[in-house]
Amino acid sequence: MTHPFRLGLTGSIGMGKSTTARLFAEAGIPVWDADATVHALYTRGGAAVAPIAAAFPQAVVDGAVSRDALKEAVSARKEALFELETIVHPLVQAARHAFLAQHANADLVLLDIPLLFETGAQKECDAVLVVTADPQVQRARVLAREQMTEAQLDLILSRQMPDAEKRARADYLIETRSLDQTRAAVRDLIETIRAAHA
């Protein structure tokens, strides 16, 4: 195999995706984080700041993109989200390709992409892992976060592909019941993929 096995990771809010990604990293697997990449693009000196300033001047504050101001600017016009995506998606894709080039000698890499199916990024993955949890567990986890309300959670869920649909499209599933159980499931999956693609 000329390139590493690219495992895409996704899951709805509160399903344990960030924890699962961290467990892959702990097991020595290189992890690319889409959210962290966007965050870096938006900070002072980030590659997205200048093009976003040109398209949405009010969204850049003190040389960095303000997510709140950007959200307001994007919600003001119907075509604004598409404009924003045409700026950000190619930069995110370039960062992902740079990560893959940097880890070309690894046998397995994890691509942590919250909106994996929604953005069509599964086409760039060799397999997809979906993390899931019982809906009651999910709600309890998310509502335990600071400043999170039932209404906000419902809005977020309404914008994400339903968990059942993600599970149906997954190559692998991990149910995140406890940290130890999830860590064991991650180790088993790494072994399974390595055995299949050795």
Predicted confidence (pLDDT) per residue in 160-192, tens digit: 899 999 999 999 999 999 999 999 999 999 999
Q: What is the CATH number of the domain that holds 155?
A: 3.40.50.300
Give me the pLDDT at residue 155, please: 87
Q: Same domain, yes or no, for 163 and 189?
A: yes
Element (H, E) at 9: strand 5-10
pTM, two decimals, is 0.90
Q: Same domain, yes or no, for 92 and 189?
A: no
Q: Same domain, yes or no, for 60 and 141?
A: no
Pairwise pLDDT comparison (111 vs 154), residue with the higher score? 111
Give me the pLDDT at residue 76, please: 82
C-alpha dihedral sign at 117, 109, 126, 176: negative
Give the model's confidence band at 3: pLDDT under 50 very low, under 70 low, under 90 confident, else very high. confident
Q: Which domain holds residue 125?
A: 1-30+107-198
pLDDT greater than 60 at residue 22:
yes
Q: Same domain, yes or no, for 81 and 22?
A: no
pLDDT greater than 90 at residue 198:
no
User: What gap in Å lies between CA 152 and CA 85, rounded to an integer?
Assistant: 23
Nearest to 96 by CA among 138, 41, 14: 41
Q: Same domain, yes or no, for 10 and 89?
A: no
Give me the DSSP letters along 58-78.
GGEETTEE-HHHHHHHHHHST
Pairwise pLDDT comparison (18 vs 147), residue with the higher score? 18
Total domains in the chain come to: 2
- Mean pLDDT value of segment 42-49: 96
C-alpha dihedral sign at 93, 7, 195, 166: negative
Residue ending a domain, among 69, 102, 135, is 102
User: What gap in Å lies between CA 136 and CA 102, rounded to an integer?
Assistant: 40
Q: Same domain, yes or no, for 41 and 54?
A: yes
Give me the pLDDT at residue 2, please: 62
Residues 88, 38 contacting (CB under 8 angstroms): yes
User: What gap in Å lies between CA 136 and CA 38, rounded to an integer?
Assistant: 30
Give me the pLDDT at residue 81, please: 87
- Mean pLDDT value of segment 114-136: 93
pLDDT greater than 50 at residue 1:
no
Q: Same domain, yes or no, for 78 and 65?
A: yes
Backbone angles phi, psi at 29, to 5 degrees: -90, 130
